[in-house]
Amino acid sequence: MSQDAPSRKDLTAVKGTRDILPEEVGAWRAVEALARETFERYGYRELRAPVIEPTELYEKSSGQTSDIVTKEMYTFIDKGGRSVTLRPEYTPSVVRAVIEHRLDLQPQPMRYFYMGPMFRYDKPQKGRYRQFHQIDVEVFGEKDPAIDAEIIEMVDAFLAALRVPDTEILVNSVGDRKCRPAYGRALREAALNRLADLCPDCQRKAETNPLRIFDCKVESCREAARSFPSILDYLCDECRDHFQKFLGYLDLFRIPYRVDPRLVRGLDYYTKTTFEIVSGRLGAQNSLVGGGRYDDMMKDFGGPDICATGFAMGMERLLSVVDLGLPKRPFLYLAYLGQEAKRAGLEMARAFRRGGVECLVEFKDRGMKAHFARANKLEAAWVLTVGEDELRRGRYGLKEMAGGRQVEGTPEELLAAILVR
Ligand code: AMP
């Protein structure tokens, strides 16, 4: 080892990121497959955007005063001198892609989903990572409040299929550009009256964006926020009507929910509906799904005036509350004795794999006893034995490890015996 080589201790994943090891990947794939299948049943199609985007995209959309933009972005200058950012969320990428590829010229509404990593330079803790994964759903060009309820019904069906326990759906309306300014003024006044009770961060927010005080987890701020006026008293007729109809559709779908007038979500772009699904099993970071309507973003990006709604769900948090009880995938272990048997065994393994059976061949010459010990340790479902005797007779041994049942036959017969299981 040269003097400059890093020691083993230095070679760890970047703080706030983690490896997803093979024993976990099965659950990830099962959840991703269910998401694909569920969302496609509702007409959604996958859209894959890059992991890096121009920094400006987030400054424009997520809000100059939101924590994500002010504190949490992984932003750097690339070799061409451009400022780029590892995406902290997916919504702005989809909006950019719709405008860039003129997807709005296709028949509307458009429905997209995506799964992948997001990056936020937040303080890591349980359920909060710097690289985390979201499943994201967006709908464009559907202004009917029924769609806001339908995406909730869809994610509810998805969570029910995964048997996610102990969840609650919180809903709210944050109004729009017509009615929010009056609410903002009332909120600022209320916040300034309680300035002494607020943390330094919220004291600043009282001036810049008092709505963000509702995101704060400091108890004295939460306590103060409980005395603040409710946005629901400030909604204009259009927003109130949208909210009432949205709740009516949730009732139609028999989705239980709780109206929480303090649910403003951490991003500046929401209009009208916001919602969150929280879990009683998650501790401090209890939000599993978050979303809402963002009718102005497309227009604000210089695109067409198309309304939008959607949500994002955190994979790490979801996986920490589900117990999928996935069965181990059955596989066959090849136990060969001697070089000739090895060659014959390799040919059989090739045929078995083409027939759809998972086969493991380890290129270490072992005795039969050692082969079976190894197969046991790996929890193989079957062991195929190929020795001199078997070669001579053209008939091979197959042992089912769980029940101990042994059969003998030609390779074709044994493959058939495995496949009828
Ligand atoms: P947001 O994009 O902030 O609305 O978050 C949507 C969902 O993503 C949350 O409900 C969480 O499940 C998940 N999430 C957000 N931030 C993190 C993070 N830092 N680590 C892990 N999951 C996260």
For 286-296, what is the mean pLDDT? Answer: 96
CA of 125 to the centre of ligand 1 (A): 12
Q: What is the pTM of this model?
A: 0.92
- Residue identifier of the C-alpha nearest atom 17 of ligand 1: 128
- Residue identifier of the C-alpha nearest atom 11 of ligand 1: 314
Nearest atom of ligand 1 to the alpha carbon of 266: 3
- Residue identifier of the C-alpha nearest atom 16 of ligand 1: 128
At 11, give phi and psi (nearest 5°). Answer: -90, 70
For 347-361, what is the mean pLDDT? Answer: 97
- Give 202's pLDDT tier (boundaries 50, 70, 90): very high
Note whether 286 and 166 are within 8 A (CB).
no
Nearest atom of ligand 1 to the alpha carbon of 88: 2
CA of 111 to the centre of ligand 1 (A): 21
3-state secondary structure 285-354: CCEEEEEEECCCHHHHCCCCCCCEEEEEEEHHHHHHHCCCCCCCCCCEEEEECCHHHHHHHHHHHHHHHH
pLDDT computed for residue 149 by the predictor: 98
Residue 314 has pLDDT above 60, yes or no: yes
Nearest atom of ligand 1 to the alpha carbon of 120: 19
What is the overall mean pLDDT for the chain? Answer: 94
209 against 139, higher pLDDT = 139
Note whether 155 and 34 are within 8 A (CB).
no
Residue 26 has pLDDT above 90, yes or no: yes
Give 82-98 as a DSSP string. -EEEE-S-SHHHHHHHH
Beta strands 167-173 and 271-279, pairing class: antiparallel
Interatomic CA distance for residues 209 and 185, integer angstroms:
10
What one-character DSSP code corresponds to residue 233?
Answer: G
pLDDT computed for residue 116 by the predictor: 98
267 against 235, higher pLDDT = 235
CA of 266 to the centre of ligand 1 (A): 10
Interatomic CA distance for residues 33 and 101, integer angstroms:
27
The listed range with the strongest mean pLDDT (63-72, 126-135, 262-271) is 126-135
Interatomic CA distance for residues 360 and 346, integer angstroms:
10
Note whether 347 and 334 are within 8 A (CB).
no
Residue 56 has pLDDT above 50, yes or no: yes
For 389-410, what is the mean pLDDT? Answer: 96
Nearest atom of ligand 1 to the alpha carbon of 317: 12
Q: Which of 317, 318, 322 to mutate to test the pocket of ligand 1 (most atoms within 8 A of CB)?
A: 317
- Residue identifier of the C-alpha nearest atom 15 of ligand 1: 314
- Give 45's pLDDT tier (boundaries 50, 70, 90): very high
Each residue's pLDDT tens digit, 70-109: 789 999 999 999 999 999 999 999 999 999 999 999 999 9
pLDDT computed for residue 1 by the predictor: 47
CA of 274 to the centre of ligand 1 (A): 15
Residue 65 has pLDDT above 90, yes or no: no
pLDDT computed for residue 212 by the predictor: 85
For 149-177, what is the mean pLDDT? Answer: 97
CA of 136 to the centre of ligand 1 (A): 11
Least confident range from 148-157, 201-210, 367-376, 399-408: namely: 201-210
Share of the chain above pLDDT 90, in %: 86
pLDDT computed for residue 376 by the predictor: 97
- Give the other-Cβ count within 10 Å of 390's Cβ: 19
CA of 394 to the centre of ligand 1 (A): 59
Residues with CB under 6 A from ligand 1: 89, 120, 122, 127-129, 132, 134, 266, 287-290, 312-314, 316-317
CA of 314 to the centre of ligand 1 (A): 5
For 24-29, what is the mean pLDDT? Answer: 96
Note whether 124 and 130 are within 8 A (CB).
yes
For 239-259, what is the mean pLDDT? Answer: 98
